[in-house]
Amino acid sequence: MKKIFPFILSILLAQATIAQADKIPVLIRCDDIGMCHSVNMAAKQVLETGIPVSMSVMVPCPWFSEAAEMLKQYKNVSIGIHLTLNAEWKNYRWGPVLGAKAVPSLVDSVGDFFPSRSRLFANNPSLTEIEAELRAQIQKALNSGLKIDYLDHHMGAAVQTPATRAIVEKLAKEFHLGISRYFEEEGIDGWYFTPPNEKADSMLLKLKNLPPGNIKLFVIHVGLASPEMNAMEDLNPFGPKEMSKHRLGELNGLVSPAFQTQLKDKKYKLVNYRMVIADKGLENMIKPKE
């Protein structure tokens, strides 16, 4: 009997391991945290669900301090730096953590970040200044007391060129951080331009139809349709209009009973970047294909 018990236990453990391996890993990443108060309050609703979630903070933005204090209160969140080199809103602007005089090639005539990647790189930004500013953003987040797990990028500006991507990779190595999309994640999208009242159905349908395989990455932009956010107008022509309604639609889709119930299905394994890094290791990151 003593010999049989360890044998049975090993079989049960093997079956459990196989069952876990068969689950579909789902990673939800909420971007732009700290951008404004309305985004922070929407993020709080997501955090209150208790699900494992990743949230990327914009350090140069005016509401970063509120975001930092809020995020410290939740154990279910993995925190990333949403490396920021753009400020895309009319009449709601921000500039570099280091100040305009320290990184003059990154700012416009009044010292704010440019609204788009094209405007930034048309100004021939200094790689030295980009590295200094991105390092300062990471350091400010760490100084705030946040536990940072990973890096990603706002509007793609920080990985616009091979040279800037190399800076991000260098900083990740320096600060012992992961990089979003370097763990062979499969991006799940298709609702960004969907009408706000249809986003919840679109997101739920995507979740229900996930194929097995690599980590499924849902990138969500949450917000409230508040007077603050209603007043924001994207300076770039490619973004959807009435952004506050779109962000509220994504929030409602994510926290909806239908979506939350579906996430609890046994076929899924909910993860955040802290969990992914613990499982895969920083040394096994893979640069995504261009």
pLDDT in tens, 98-107: 999 999 999 9
pLDDT category at 14 given cuts 50, 70, 90 is very low
**Contact 237/209 with Cβ under 8 angstroms?**
no
pLDDT category at 210 given cuts 50, 70, 90 is very high
CATH, residue 222: 3.20.20.370
Span 165-188, average pLDDT: 98
The partner residues of 57 in beta bridges, in order of sequence, read: 33, 81
Residue 60 has pLDDT above 60, yes or no: yes
pLDDT in tens, 237-246: 887 888 999 9
The answer as to whether 121 is a domain residue is yes
The answer as to whether 289 is a domain residue is no
The residue among 217, 89, 86, 215 whose CA lies nearest residue 153 is 86
CA distance 87 to 93: 6
The answer as to whether 15 is a domain residue is no
The answer as to whether 255 is a domain residue is yes
- Cβ neighbours of residue 88 under 8 Å, at least 6 residues apart? 115, 116, 155, 234, 235, 236, 239
Q: Which tokens sit at 166?
A: 């190399």
Out of 20-29, 237-246, 270-279, give the one with best mean pLDDT: 270-279
**Contact 230/244 with Cβ under 8 angstroms?**
yes
Span 114-143, average pLDDT: 98
CA distance 230 to 269: 36
Q: Which tokens sit at 50?
A: 């208790």
The answer as to whether 117 is a domain residue is yes
Q: Which tokens sit at 144?
A: 């705030």
The per-residue pLDDT for 5 is: 52
State the total domains in the chain: 1
Residue 1 has pLDDT above 60, yes or no: no
For the chain, counts of helices (H) and of strands (E): 11, 10
The residue among 52, 36, 88, 71 whose CA lies nearest residue 141 is 71
CA distance 276 to 271: 7
CA distance 46 to 248: 12
The domain of 162 spans 21-284
CA distance 182 to 61: 26
The answer as to whether 234 is a domain residue is yes
The answer as to whether 241 is a domain residue is yes
CA distance 39 to 244: 9
